[in-house]
Amino acid sequence: MAVQEVLVYPDPRLKENCAPIDNFDDTVGRLLNDLVDTMVDAGHSVGIAAPQIGDLRRAAVVDVSKSKLGKKQDNHGLMQMVNPVIIEREGMNIVREGCMSVPDYTGNVTRAEVIVVEYLDENEQLQVVRCEGFEAVAVQHELDHLDGFLFLDRVSSLKSDLFRRKQK
């Protein structure tokens, strides 16, 4: 249970397809706790996936409830997801995304407006959750990491849809 270093592109582990978690043992609980701790420590993050901390198992956490975009709509608070799968998608929208693993850029990405995601939670209970708006975008972004995709892979034009972040 500790804050972990976040891998930054072009680290090759970010492009790996993650393995399903078949044995829900103590290491899974520690992984989920590390993900939550790392997300919270970042201060601005609404999600993180296991490969971003170098663990190539299918786990991610999302919590948009403290974000100004997440507070504007209903959301599910902290979701700790093991072996998540999107089972339904509705509508499409272009949204601006950023990522802790690509800290210098944001980009326009096409995402489903509404999704239904199925996963095991931190108590190994099956959850089926309908997410909309910003929460749906965050879940899709984190699940992409589990398949070795970064938002950079979803940007239709690197010339017109990728933006350098303002340096503080």
Question: Which of 97, 122, 135, 142 does the annotation list as catalytic?
Answer: 142
142 labelled catalytic: yes
For the chain, the three-class secondary structure string (H helix, E strand, C coil) is CCCCCCCCCCCHHHHCCCECCCCCCHHHHHHHHHHHHHHHHHCCCCEEEHHHHCCCECEEEECCCCCHHHHCCCCCCCEEEEEEEEEEEEEEEEEEEEECCEEEEEEEEEEEEEEEEEEECCCCCEEEEEEEHHHHHHHHHHHHHHCCCCHHHHECCCCCCEEECCCC
Residues catalogued as catalytic: 142
